[in-house]
Amino acid sequence: MKYISTRGKAPALSFGDVLLAGLANDGGLYVPETLPHYSKEEIASWADLSYQALAFKIMWPFVEGDIPADAFKKMIDEAYAGFNHSSIAPMVQVGNNEWILELFRGPTLAFKDFALQLLGRLMDYVLSERKEKLVILGATSGDTGSAAIEGCRHSEHLDIFILHPYQRVSEVQRRQMTTVIDDNVFNIAVKGNFDDCQGMVKSSFADQSFLNGAKLGAVNSINWARIMAQIVYYFSSALSVGAPHRKVSFSVPTGNFGDIFAGYLAKKMGLPIDQLVVATNKNDILHRVISENDMSRQSLNVTLSPSMDIMVSSNFERLLFDAHGRDGAEIDDLMARFNNGDVSLKDQAWSFVKDNFDSYKVDDEKTCDVIADVFAKTQYLLDPHTAIGLEAARHCWKDKSVPMITLATAHPVKFPEAVEKAGCDTPALPEHMKDLFEREESYAVLENSLSDVQAFVAAKL
Ligand SMILES: *Cc1c(COP(=O)(O)O)cnc(C)c1O
């Protein structure tokens, strides 16, 4: 499989190259040149496969040529071995035709484990084949960091450095990162805020001379391999409620548009999806562009669903590429227009977006109401991101005979503030994390200074 850039100017690359590159060198994002398409009969024949076997079926065409089949199967098995449910992505019914897809059964209790557990292993394999090493540098406001660390900790060819704002992440979030004690894992608490951390990562990518020849890599959500791994659970959940013999719909709590973009690809690959609902919190740029063609940037709101607190959704460019007939020059143009203050899509592109997605925005108060209401009626405790997904599902659902599946992106124990505001008790930590508060921690506390952070990284390599 070849991958092309959404801006049309970067060279087409193989899977292995795209995996290590992240962003294309023309500023675009890589997408597969073609997508496999499956008939109803073929999809139906997958109904009895294990999650791991289905994952292999779906992802194989994307990696073929770069990763041998046996090695890939082994990586998939290892990636999902640490999940605490035998079906990996179990479904829970919360109403008539209403389902929750639990994507928080991995080591860090958030859906990012699905992709990052595999990404670390894929990178390690490709790097070992090429006899190269890579330094992963990232910033986190809480959630992504731990999933990235868990995904890379066993990689022999990766060192990972994660910056978090000192004393500004919750204790559970900090401990999920800092209690991973491995030779290649480095946590740095920066005496600044998240933007300071992210600024340091950006500057470091722009000028890598401080690394004395080593190379930086990224595991952020624009990495194609992350999207690829997320396609699988759309198929597994749909099959479990009767697809492809009937249609299904999905509602997805959305931030960077990575997770829901995987759902859109599943549809293009032949899965009969009726509706794809984009659920946002008060940071609603995606809801505004879908419902009223308004892509203006507004200031960032801090909400009870922090993993969706973003101003601009980086993966949306991948959809815009399709919305503009996969014409890279058009996207290049569009980005220039956005930078000059234009904030809307041409009619044809907007129609494409509207035809493929519904959307809804949910504020903090409603989020808590939903958590409380669902708990009162079913004894099932939602995390705030999932509550937003469920509320959006209920609001946008057109045909109640079509099963509606809401993606549960995190375990409620990670977001005690919202759970308490909803009047519910914070649940206990799951079995594999019971001793989190007793575990040894390791992290450096550094001043809010780029040169201090870079000197620390260089010294550890
Ligand atoms: C990252 C994250 C999201 C948003 O996912 P995107 O792929 O960025 O849209 C939603 N919920 C939780 C809990 C997350 O960690």
What is the Cα–Cα distance from 407 to 416, expressed in whole angstroms?
Answer: 19
Task: Read off the CATH number of the domain in which 318 is found.
Answer: 3.40.50.1100
In a domain, 426, yes or no: no
Q: Residue 340 has what pLDDT?
A: 87
Bridge pairing between strands 134-139 and 444-446? unpaired
Give the domain range for residue 280: 88-107+224-421
**3-class DSSP assignment, residue 126:** helix
DSSP bridge partners of 92: 100
Q: Is 112 a catalytic residue?
A: yes
In a domain, 324, yes or no: yes
pLDDT of 113 above 80: yes
Cβ of residue 102 lying under 6 Å from some atom of ligand 1:
no
What is the Cα–Cα distance from 422 to 433, expressed in whole angstroms?
Answer: 24
Ligand 1 atom with the smallest distance to the CA of 410 is 13
pLDDT of 300 above 90: no
* Distance in angstroms between the alpha carbons of the first and the last residue of the chain: 34
Distance from chain centroid for Cα 430: 22
Could you give the maximum distance between any two Cα atoms of the chain, in Å? 60
pLDDT of 297 above 90: no
Of the candidates 9, 40, 74, 112, the residue annotated as catalytic is 112
In a domain, 155, yes or no: no
Banded pLDDT at 245 (limits 50, 70, 90)? very high
Q: Count the domains in the chain.
A: 1
pLDDT of 151 above 80: yes
Ligand 1 centroid to Cα of residue 59, in Å, is 21
pLDDT of 68 above 90: yes
Banded pLDDT at 292 (limits 50, 70, 90)? very high
Q: Residue 364 has what pLDDT?
A: 98
Cβ of residue 240 lying under 6 Å from some atom of ligand 1:
no
What is the Cα–Cα distance from 207 to 26, expressed in whole angstroms?
Answer: 17
Distance from chain centroid for Cα 128: 25
As to burial, measured by CB atoms within 10 angstroms (0-12 exposed, 13-18 middle, 19+ buried), residue 284 is buried
Backbone angles phi, psi at 355, to 5 degrees: -70, -25
In a domain, 273, yes or no: yes
Q: Which of 111, 367, 383 to mutate to test the pocket of ligand 1 (most atoms within 8 A of CB)?
A: 111
In a domain, 187, yes or no: no
Q: What is the dihedral of CA 454, 456, 458, 461, to 10 degrees?
A: -140
Cβ of residue 409 lying under 6 Å from some atom of ligand 1:
yes
Q: Which of 385, 406, 407, 414 to mutate to test the pocket of ligand 1 (most atoms within 8 A of CB)?
A: 385
Cβ of residue 145 lying under 6 Å from some atom of ligand 1:
no
| Segment 327-383, tens digit of pLDDT | 999 999 999 888 888 889 999 999 999 999 999 999 999 999 999 999 999 999 999
| Segment 426-456, tens digit of pLDDT | 899 888 889 999 999 999 999 999 999 999 9
In a domain, 27, yes or no: no
Q: Residue 22 has what pLDDT?
A: 81
Ligand 1 atom with the smallest distance to the CA of 147 is 15
Specify the residue with its C-alpha closest to ligand 1, atom 11: 409
Cβ of residue 219 lying under 6 Å from some atom of ligand 1:
no
Cβ of residue 5 lying under 6 Å from some atom of ligand 1:
no
**3-class DSSP assignment, residue 279:** strand
Cβ of residue 257 lying under 6 Å from some atom of ligand 1:
yes
Sheet of 273-280: strand order equals 91-95, 98-102, 404-408, 248-253, 273-280, 358-361
Specify the residue with its C-alpha closest to ligand 1, atom 2: 307
Mean pLDDT of 208-232: 92
In a domain, 124, yes or no: no
Please state at what angle helix 316-323 crosses helix 258-268, rounded to 10 degrees: 40
Q: Residue 155 has what pLDDT?
A: 93
Q: Which two tokens stand for residue 235?
A: 């198929």
Cβ of residue 164 lying under 6 Å from some atom of ligand 1:
no
Q: Which of 31, 20, 22, 23 has the alpha carbon at shortest distance from 327?
A: 31
Q: Which of 139, 181, 141, 199 has the alpha carbon at shortest distance from 163?
A: 139
Match 């922090």 to its residue by tokens.
306
Q: Which two tokens stand for residue 316?
A: 């949306």
Q: Residue 169 has what pLDDT?
A: 86
**3-class DSSP assignment, residue 76:** helix
pLDDT of 193 above 90: no
Q: Residue 206 has what pLDDT?
A: 86
Specify the residue with its C-alpha closest to ligand 1, atom 15: 307
Q: Which two tokens stand for residue 295?
A: 């892509």
Mean pLDDT of 276-293: 97
In a domain, 207, yes or no: no
Q: Residue 6 has what pLDDT?
A: 97
Q: Residue 358 has what pLDDT?
A: 98
pLDDT of 397 above 80: yes
Bridge pairing between strands 185-190 and 158-165? parallel
